[in-house]
């Protein structure tokens, strides 16, 4: 392998070391490591979460060279059957990804409808609990969610039909936007406090409180209403002009937000014309302000 491939393999190995589970493959006693993903992006309706009984399994090509449909992985006391055609999901072709068999196909046909519904509800509770644990580990707190049982909002998971689904929809949008707002305040250099208090949230060009952002909004913009905000950001190959924030505020927070939330939103830094910028006494307001754009 070349240097780039070596680096990619190290990154993959690190991910499996952190998130992997010990498993066996097709009954072989030799242990391998897999990642069980209960929140696969491809399975999400909008910004939702796991579909009960449908999760993904990832395994390194170095451990399983050619997995196939109907292969089995045993982990945590249960056996999962591959119901899809495994595919090399990453750019470097190092990790196989596949769907676990549908829950209804795993349950014995001898079980009645109530037992099937109960089994679906049990798996859904496990999936939702794991999703909550992931959020707590990543964010330091749980994220509110609502459960859709057979397409309707309900907390009664046991009411699911034998041929139905349970979907957990986690509201990460509010968490993301609130976190960015808090970080902009925390990273702001403070002299008079005007800059720190000037950060605003815009939807369709209008200042909007985060709590008032309607469902379905696809883009949110953060920008300050401060005439000297552009000078705080690095520009023209030079650092920002504030010694307290040499890496800027909006550029730094955008980079941090991408690291934390890059899997659920596209987050970018730019300069934009912003209405309502304070008029400085010595010069006209700037043509553009630093901004963070979040495409949800």
| Residues in contact with 56: Cβ distance below 8 Å, sequence separation at least 6, in sequence order | 36, 37, 40, 43, 97, 98, 99, 100
Task: State residue 123's pLDDT score.
Answer: 87
Nearest Cα to 64, choosing from 38, 86, 37?
Answer: 86
Nearest Cα to 100, choosing from 50, 167, 148?
Answer: 50
Report how far apart, in Å, the C-alpha atoms of 153 and of each of 103, 135, 201 are: 21, 21, 30
Task: Answer yes or no: pTM beyond 0.85.
Answer: no
With tokens 């968490």, the residue in question is 175
Q: CA 103, CA 120: separation in Å to the nearest integer?
A: 7
Task: State residue 109's pLDDT score.
Answer: 44
pLDDT digits (tens, 9 = 90+) for 188-202: 998 888 999 999 999
Beta pairing class for 78-81 and 72-75? antiparallel
Task: State residue 82's pLDDT score.
Answer: 86
Task: State residue 48's pLDDT score.
Answer: 39
| Three-state secondary-structure class, residue 183 | helix
* Type and span of the H or E element at 17: helix 3-19
Return per-residue pLDDT of the chain as tens, 296 residues.
555 567 788 888 988 998 899 999 999 999 999 998 754 444 444 433 444 445 789 999 999 999 998 899 998 888 888 887 888 877 789 999 988 754 444 444 446 788 888 888 988 898 888 888 877 776 677 777 889 999 999 999 999 998 889 988 877 788 899 999 999 999 999 888 899 999 999 999 899 999 888 878 899 999 998 888 999 998 888 888 888 888 999 999 999 999 988 888 999 999 988 876 655 544 554 568 899 999 98
| Three-state secondary-structure class, residue 47 | coil
Task: State residue 140's pLDDT score.
Answer: 72
Q: What angle, rounded to 10 degrees, do the helices at 172-187 and 250-261 form?
A: 150
């Amino acid at each position: 392998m070349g240097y780039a491939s070596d680096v990619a393999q190290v990154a993959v190995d690190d991910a499996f070391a952190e998130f992997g589970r010990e498993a066996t493959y097709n009954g072989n006693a030799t242990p391998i490591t897999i990642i069980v993903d209960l929140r696969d992006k491809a399975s999400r309706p909008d910004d939702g979460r796991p579909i009960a009984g449908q999760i993904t399994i990832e395994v390194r090509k170095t451990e399983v060279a050619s997995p196939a449909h109907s292969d089995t992985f045993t982990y945590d006391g249960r056996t999962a059957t591959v119901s899809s055609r495994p595919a090399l999901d990453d750019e470097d072709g190092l990790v196989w990804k596949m769907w676990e068999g549908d829950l209804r196909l795993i349950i014995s046909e001898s079980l009645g409808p109530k037992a099937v519904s109960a089994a679906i509800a049990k798996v859904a509770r496990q999936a939702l609990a794991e999703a909550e644990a992931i959020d707590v580990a990543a964010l330091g707190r749980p994220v509110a969610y609502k459960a859709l049982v057979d397409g309707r909002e309900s907390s009664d998971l046991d009411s699911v039909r034998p041929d139905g689904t349970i979907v957990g929809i986690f509201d990460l949008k509010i968490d993301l936007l609130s976190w960015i707002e808090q970080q902009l305040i925390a990273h702001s250099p403070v002299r008079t406090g005007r800059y720190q208090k000037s950060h605003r949230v815009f939807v369709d060009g209008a200042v909007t409180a985060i709590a008032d952002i309607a469902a379905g909004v696809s883009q949110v913009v953060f920008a300050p209403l401060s005439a000297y905000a552009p000078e705080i950001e690095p520009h023209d190959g030079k650092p920002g002009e504030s010694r307290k924030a040499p890496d800027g505020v909006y550029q730094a927070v955008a980079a941090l937000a991408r690291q934390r939330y890059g899997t659920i939103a596209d987050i970018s830094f730019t300069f934009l014309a912003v209405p309502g910028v304070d008029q400085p006494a010595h010069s006209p307001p700037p043509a553009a302000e630093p901004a963070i754009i979040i495409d949800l």
